[in-house]
C-alpha cells in the first residue's frame, strides 16, 4: 500500500518560500499569478494490507514526525 501525504502551511502563517516564488513568477512576466503557497508532497510505501490500521498509523506518523501541526495542515490518501 502507498500513502500520499499533502502538507500545507496554515493560511495565517507566513510562507517565505511561497512569497519568493510568487515574486519571481511575476517578474518573469506571469502577471496572472496571485498567491503562491509551497508545501510538501510525501509518498510512503507501507508493507501492510490493513487499510484501517494504515489510516491510523499514517495519522500517527504525520503527527509525530512529518507535520508540524502548530503551523501546518495535512491530509493523506491511501492507494493500492
- Per CB under 8 A, residues contacting a copy of itself are 6-8, 18, 21, 24-25, 28, 30, 32-48, 54, 57, 60-61, 64-66
Query: Cell numbers of 32, please?
Result: 496572472
Taking the complex as a whole, the smallest distance from the CB of residue 42 to a copy of itself amounts, in Å, to 5
CA angle 54, 37, 11 (to 5 degrees): 80
Taking the complex as a whole, the smallest distance from the CB of residue 70 to a copy of itself amounts, in Å, to 19
* Sequence-separated (6 or more) residues with CB below 8 Å from residue 3: 42, 43, 44, 46, 54, 58, 76, 77, 78, 79
**Residue whose CB is less far from a copy of itself, 70 or 75:** 75
Q: Find the radius of gyration of the CA atoms of the chain.
A: 16
**Residue whose CB is less far from a copy of itself, 13 or 30:** 30
**Residue whose CB is less far from a copy of itself, 43 or 70:** 43
Amino acid at each position: 500500500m502507498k500513502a500520499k501525504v499533502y502538507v500545507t502551511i496554515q493560511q495565517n502563517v507566513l510562507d517565505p518560500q511561497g512569497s519568493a516564488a510568487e515574486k519571481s513568477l511575476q517578474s518573469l512576466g506571469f502577471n496572472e499569478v496571485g498567491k503562491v503557497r509551497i508545501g510538501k508532497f510525501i509518498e510512503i510505501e507501507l508493507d501492510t494490507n490493513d487499510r484501517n490500521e494504515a489510516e491510523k498509523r499514517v495519522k500517527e506518523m504525520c503527527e509525530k514526525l512529518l507535520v508540524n501541526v502548530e503551523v501546518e495542515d495535512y491530509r493523506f490518501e491511501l492507494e493500492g
